[in-house]
């Protein structure tokens, strides 16, 4: 007799939760999923406003057969991969250095995580003013006689290797990954390493064979988030990147804002490619997180 009232109470509680979440969920469904469905339909050349009424895959065939799209995709993947890899390595090193207790540790941790609150756009402007050929460093090298003129400073912004973009992403994402890794290191403690060291392992062997496997799920999870973000980000490549080839989000934006409305399906197809890869990365992140929590 007491089981049915409990079940009814749980059902009422769940219904209450869904009712409280309904306003936020309706906004998400209408704005996000509605826009996603609309974009997908337009990527299939279904755009009745300009007379496209027969869905097809012409836009996808067009972009995948276009060398500009392929170059942009390769560039975007390169930026995301290199930025994520460098940020992950530096974040792990920083977390290991910040793990032991030392004088002024809280202040150092505060400085380390300070730029987490700085918007990416502000960081991009800082990179522009510091590393461009008319920026602060170029003028200092010219004033110090290291270069004949500011224009002789190495091109680090709008350069073929996207160094300025990578610098910005690394500067911004190292604290993000580092805070996660540091939390894992502090929760794990140093007992496992101490046991390995007592059995004759060197400091590097203890880190490689004991500590690194323990923190790797967290590193990979954070890296997936960073990779997905850097792959789909628009403002940093737009400000710090080259005109040609442009990063994929920039190329999609330019195609979408083209005065020729017939270019909209291709722009939406590019956006769907970015969305698909980001969704795949989110799925990988969730799968890895579930596996990590279970183990």
228 falls within a domain:
yes
How many residues are there in the chain?
295
Q: Tally the domains of the chain.
A: 1
Look up the domain containing 244 and give its range. 66-294
260 falls within a domain:
yes
DSSP for 231-257, please give it.
HH--HHHHHHS-SSSPPHHHHHHHHHT
How far is residue 208's CA from residue 153's CA, in Å, rounded to a whole number?
39
Do the beta carbons of residue 266 and residue 212 sit within 8 Å? no
What is the three-class DSSP state of 114?
helix
215 falls within a domain:
yes
Question: What CATH number does the domain containing 126 carry?
Answer: 1.10.3720.10
Question: What pTM, to 2 d.p., does this model score?
Answer: 0.86
Burial grade of 10 (CB within 10 A; 0-12, 13-18, 19 or more): exposed
Tokens of 81: 């991969």
CB atoms within 10 A of CB 200: 8
20 falls within a domain:
no
Q: Using pLDDT thresholds of 50, 70 and 90, give the confidence band for residue 34.
A: confident
193 falls within a domain:
yes
5 falls within a domain:
no
- Note the pLDDT tens digit of each residue in 200-255: 888 888 888 888 888 888 898 899 889 989 999 999 999 999 888 899 999 999 98
pLDDT confidence of residue 1: 47
Mean pLDDT score across all residues of the chain: 86
221 falls within a domain:
yes
Residue 148, pLDDT > 80, answer yes
Q: Using pLDDT thresholds of 50, 70 and 90, give the confidence band for residue 49.
A: confident
232 falls within a domain:
yes
């Amino acid at each position: 007799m007491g089981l049915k009232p409990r079940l009814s109470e749980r059902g009422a509680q769940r219904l209450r939760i869904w009712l409280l979440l309904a306003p936020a969920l309706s906004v998400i469904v209408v704005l996000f999923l509605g826009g996603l469905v609309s974009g997908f339909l337009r990527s299939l050349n279904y755009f009745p406003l300009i007379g496209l009424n027969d869905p097809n895959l012409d836009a996808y065939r067009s972009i995948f057969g276009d060398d500009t799209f392929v170059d942009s995709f390769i560039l975007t993947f390169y930026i995301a991969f290199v930025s994520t890899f460098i940020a992950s390595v530096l974040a792990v090193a920083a977390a290991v250095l910040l793990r032991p207790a030392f004088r002024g540790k809280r202040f150092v941790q505060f400085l380390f995580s300070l730029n987490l609150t700085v918007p990416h756009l502000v960081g991009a402007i800082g990179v522009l003013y510091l590393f461009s050929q008319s920026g602060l460093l170029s003028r200092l090298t010219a004033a110090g006689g290291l270069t004949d003129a500011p224009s002789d400073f190495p091109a680090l912004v709008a350069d073929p290797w996207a160094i300025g973009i990578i610098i910005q992403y690394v500067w911004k994402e190292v604290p993000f990954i580092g805070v996660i890794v540091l939390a894992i290191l502090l929760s794990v403690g140093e007992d496992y390493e101490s046991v390995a060291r007592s059995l004759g392992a060197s400091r590097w062997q203890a880190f490689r064979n004991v500590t690194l496997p323990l923190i790797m799920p967290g590193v990979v999870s954070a890296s997936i988030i960073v990779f997905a973000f850097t792959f789909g980000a628009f403002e940093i490549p737009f400000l710090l990147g080259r005109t040609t080839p442009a990063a994929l989000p920039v190329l999609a934006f330019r195609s979408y804002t083209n005065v020729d409305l017939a270019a909209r399906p291709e722009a939406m197809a590019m956006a769907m490619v970015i969305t698909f890869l980001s969704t795949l990365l989110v799925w990988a992140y969730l799968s890895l997180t579930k596996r990590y929590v279970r183990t």
